[in-house]
Chains A and B, each alone.
Chain A
Amino acid sequence: MTATALAQRAARRSAWQRVAGGLAILRRSRVAMVGAALVLFWVVVAVFADDCILSPACWTGSPEYTSTPWLAVYPYDQGTGAVLGPPSADHWLGTDRSGRDLWARLAYGARIILTLAPLSVGLAVLVGGVLGLMAGYFGGVLDEVISRILDAVIAFPQIILYLIIIAALGASAANVVLAITVAGAPGIARLVRSLTLDIKTRDYVAAAQTRGESPWYIMLVEILPNASGPIMIDAMLRMGYAVFAIGTLGFLGLGLPPPSPDWGSMVNLGRRFIAAGHPWDALWASMATASLVVGLNLMADGLNEELQRYR
């Protein structure tokens, strides 16, 4: 086939093929595949924990609807077995102090984590990205002001920041997302700012300026897509941190209120029983958190390594 025809085909790849291309990079790195497998496991568990996926009524959270558990096997908010029971044929991971099945709680808890973490990282990228673009592109006084505010937020230890926000606003899913966004946005803003400062010097940005394009056009259309690579890798790493943060908040009792099967609060509730010979609550919830965080980190690592390999 002639060179031109080949090039034509290459250029007209559809969006699906581009995604497949991205996944191909992932496939090349064994590290990334291991990570992806871990994450995928929890995603499947979360999606198919019960039959919610099939019924729109469940999504809107209407109270009349009761879902039937699938992978979770048991519902998470009712006691279905013995109190503080060990792992057995009926209850694979054991039961907690109210007789609720631990595996079911883990499965439903996966849902919470896997919605809150990406949401908070997404918001952090949005907020941090905009701040970073503005600081990097406009420079001058705006840059100074934004950078100092970001410095101030980063100066706080993250846990203290969470405590302050949750204590002030109360414990709820929205506030957890808010806390993680506030803690995570400055780091992303710094990254985006440095990328913007670099890309701003390129000729194509000058070409856009000589066309009289507005600053927001240049920032969002010319600069941002070229910064997306490092931002995505950072975002993926941050998801791991976000999962960890949600777990921490739960453990400190600042997470979602009961009977929410938040993994962190499972550890918190279960820690009292470790000495009494029932480590299962704390153990399974900690391992679940750890596996998810490790999975996300491995994916980010593998992607990074693959992209750097033939540089």
Chain B
Amino acid sequence: MQPTGKMTQPVVKVQNVSIAYETRGGDITAVRDVSFQIHRGETLGLVGESGCGKSTIAYGLVNYLGRNGKITKGDVLFQGQSLVGQSPEDLRKLRGDQIAMVYQDPMTSLNPVLRIGEQMVEVLTVHRGVSEDKARARCIEMLGRVYMPDPAKVLDRFPHQISGGQQQRVVIAMALLNDPALLIMDEPTTALDVTVEAAVLDLVADLRRDFDTAILFISHNMGVIARVSNRVGVMYAGELVELASVREIFARPRHPYTQGLIRCLPNLARNKYNSPLYPIRGRVPSPAHLPPGCVFEPRCDYARDRCRQTRPALERLEGEHFSRCLFSNEIDPAQWQPPPELSLELATPPAEKPDPILKVSGLKTYYPHTDSSALSLIGLGKKEYVKAVDDVSLEAPRGLTLGVVGESGCGKSTLIKTIIGLEDITGGKVEFLGFDVKRTVARRDLDLIRELQMVFQNPDATMNPTYSVGQQIERPLRRFKVVPRDEVRAEVIRLLRAVKLDEHYYDRLPRQLSGGEKQRVGIARAFAGRPDVVLCDEPVSALDVSVQAAVLNLLLEIQREQNTTLIFIAHDLSVVRYFSDYIAVMYLGQVVDHGPAAAIYQPPYHPYTESLLAAVPVPDPTVEQEHIRLEGSVPSPLHPPSGCRFHTRCPRRGMLPDGGKLCEEEAPPWRDAGGGQHIYCHIPVEQLAALEPVIQAAEA
């Protein structure tokens, strides 16, 4: 067993590195003065929001910055040798051999026209000169170590024939084949579902133990970082602002930015009635216009004059805890008070459950699937359907929020697209304001359309790039005749103010806005007609954590003012818990668990909800979380499993006699779990209620 830790020389040592990009307007510094080191067997997590430079550092380490990037200052020492200034040929030998990299999207990391075996074997034959047979054997062994089922068969498949989680395992296996000294992982699980992500993170933890590799793990998700890292570095606007062990960072953050980040994370204990989410005010500075002193100073609640004048150095506070702040020793996060402009009122829960304003009964949305056989070309093939939404019944109580949660492919997006009329209803009923809403939106009454609006997921695509913000908010006002013509402009300004944007945004074009601002405009546009129900399709998924908090607060405020009913879709369980009054959990086109938010997150759980909760990465390294992992992958909605659709992966099948044979044969009944919760499962409620809660705070 090799001595790990500080005894040995660090595998990689980054010293005061600055990286700049050449652009039309001159050189832009993306990373300024970053220093850290990683020892063998240690995982350094680099966390930060978009644009902070964490990926740039990763590419800079292997000097793979693109045509116009360059390391302007500082040095990168890899196993004692400097990487800056080496010839491309020497660097090529290092990459893939001693330094390996795993990227975010496995589908673009693997060559789609080569078989997996060919790609993996190449790593060994090129760098180590191993013969093909020996290389193949080693690949099979490595695939086994990343828990890939049936490794020999996988080698003969193409990347598109295996699932996303399996692709990422292949990429990780390829990275480890040459036993690299340094493994760089750039957001490797961001593109994966929660349950798959949990399995891949388990794998990373195991590998750390088995291979003793130094790992640089980059992510914007604090929960993931908490789970995988030994030490954490927090980056902001190209600088490293705090560096400490993972427990220290979450328990005692010393830099105001880290404190602000942790304050605006929704975790499973918080909800909108007991604690407000305080966002970090202001906006990340553009790299071309950095503040003269401390880079965080314009947004810092503790800023003083000195902060504007001097740029703080990364100072050691105690032990291995570093912070780039002049006043770290004087700041106590426990004493923090929100500044006056951020004072948030907490909502009060309603006394009794209001009547539903929107009712969905037995909704079915099927997409016809064109078989690629010759018969179907002439229309005689078997008619198959992708059962995206299969028999869903929900109610949205007036003025409250219904959250719908599930992984990709569960049908939640299709569900709200059907409700709003962008998709055709194949069966079942949608009742809105007492009307049976059957037709697609193109044929509905304008009054009905006005009362049911939507906020979209992708802030970059939600606004038309050609028209200004003001014009786009005016459109629904004019179309629905909300106010008389001469008052339209005033109303637009009022809406802009309601979403915390000042009136100068009226003439701006979307490309001049940040992601969070675009999403706010999208919200203003959706609420312009004062609708009764707003469907939110993952409105905060594409946003940074601090912006997410601001947008959630905004939605809450508008909801309170206008008594709007919200149907909120997300895949992030903490966000849904924070925001919703009632929650429905969907799996493969069906609702499997629904009820009040508090009840869903406590036993009794539906087994799927339980595994989701066990998989979600919690941004607190001290909590105890049950370790439940799902096998296999989500079945195809073309041929959903018989009986209970979850039976192929259910970890609690064994609780029933005969190993759960009933689950394969019969569809489960709806069981009343008390407190308004209903579970779609064969297992009796008493047995489910006897299970341990999935997430428990650590004993003090």
Q: Check if B674 is an interface residue, CB within 8 A of chain A.
A: no
Q: In the complex, which of the residues B461, B463, B468, B522 contacts A11, with contact meaning CB atoms closer than 8 Å?
A: B468
Q: Please, how many angstroms separate the alpha-carbon atoms of A206 and B461 in the complex? A: 10
Bitwise, A204-219 to B at CB < 8 A (1) or not (0) is 1011011111010000
Q: Tell which of A3, A4, A210 touches B422, judged by Cβ atoms closer than 8 Å.
A: A210
Q: A8-B507, A212-B444 are in contact. Are A310 and B23 (CB under 8 A)?
A: yes
- Between A and B, 14 residue pairs with Cβ closer than 8 Å are A7-B512, A10-B512, A11-B509, A12-B507, A203-B458, A203-B461, A204-B464, A207-B462, A207-B525, A209-B422, A209-B442, A211-B476, A213-B479, A226-B464
Distance A212 CA – B444 CA, assembled complex (angstroms):
8
Interface contact B475-A211, CB-CB below 8 Å: yes
Instruction: Give me the 5 closest cross-chain CB pairs, A-B, nearest first.
Output: A11-B507, A203-B456, A225-B466, A212-B449, A203-B461
Contact of A212 among B446, B458, B461, B502 (CB under 8 A): B446
Q: What is the 8 Å Cβ interface bit string for chain B, positions 503-546, against chain A (1 contact, 0 not)? A: 01001110010000000001001100000000000000000000
CB distance from A306 to the nearest CB of B (A): 11
Contacts of A206 in B (CB 8 A): 422, 454, 456
User: How far, in angstroms, from A211 to B468 measured CA to CA in the complex?
Assistant: 18
Which residues of chain A come closer than 8 Å to B420, judged between CB atoms? 210
A8-B504 contact, Cβ under 8 Å, with A203-B457, A226-B466: yes
Interface class of chain A by DSSP: helix
Is B53 on the interface with A (CB-CB < 8 A)?
A: no
What is the CA–CA distance of A149 and B461 in the complex, to the nearest angstrom? 33
Cα–Cα, bound, A225→B463 (Å): 13
User: Which of A12, A210, A222, A310 contacts B464, CB < 8 Å?
Assistant: A222
Asked if B144 is at the interface of the complex by the 8 Å CB criterion, the answer is no
Q: What is the CA–CA distance of A211 and B450 in the complex, to the nearest angstrom?
A: 7
Q: Which residues does chain B contribute within 8 Å of A212, judged by CB atoms? A: 441-442, 444, 446, 449, 479
- Whether B24 sits at the interface, judged by CB under 8 Å, is yes
Binding site for B on A (CB under 8 A): 3-4, 7-8, 10-12, 202-204, 206-207, 209-213, 215, 222, 225-226, 310
Report the count of interface residues on B (CB-CB < 8 A).
Answer: 38
Contact digits for B464-488, partner A, Cβ 8 Å, 1 yes 0 no: 1111100000011001100000000
Residues on the B chain within 8 Å of A203, using CB: 456-458, 461-462
Within the assembled complex, what's the spacing in Å between the Cα atoms of A105 and B522?
A: 59
Q: Roughly how many angstroms separate A181 CA and B31 CA in the complex, as a whole number?
A: 54
Whether B453 sits at the interface, judged by CB under 8 Å, is yes
Closest to A12 in B: B507
Contact partner of B463 (CB less than 8 A), chosen from A204, A211, A310, is A204
**A4 CA to B504 CA, complexed, in Å:** 7
Contact B504 A210 (CB under 8 A): no
CA of A203 to CA of B519, assembled, Å: 12
Shortest distance from the beta carbon of B380 to any chain A beta carbon, whole Å: 20
Q: Does B421 contact A (CB under 8 A)?
A: yes
With a cutoff of 8 Å between Cβ atoms, the chain A residues found around residue B442 in the complex are 209, 212, 215
Whole-angstrom distance between the Cβ of A223 and the nearest chain B Cβ: 9
- The docked-state distance in angstroms from the alpha carbon of A206 to that of B456 is 9
Please, which residues of chain B bring their CB within 8 A of the CB of A222? 464
Shortest B537–chain A CB gap in Å is: 9
- Listed residue (A8, A204, A209, A310) with the most chain B CB atoms within 10 angstroms of its CB: A204
Residues of B contacting A207 in the complex (Cβ-Cβ under 8 angstroms): 454, 456, 462, 522, 525-526
A92 to B219, CA, bound (A): 73
Instruction: Assess whether A210 is in contact with B512, with CB atoms less than 8 Å apart.
Output: no
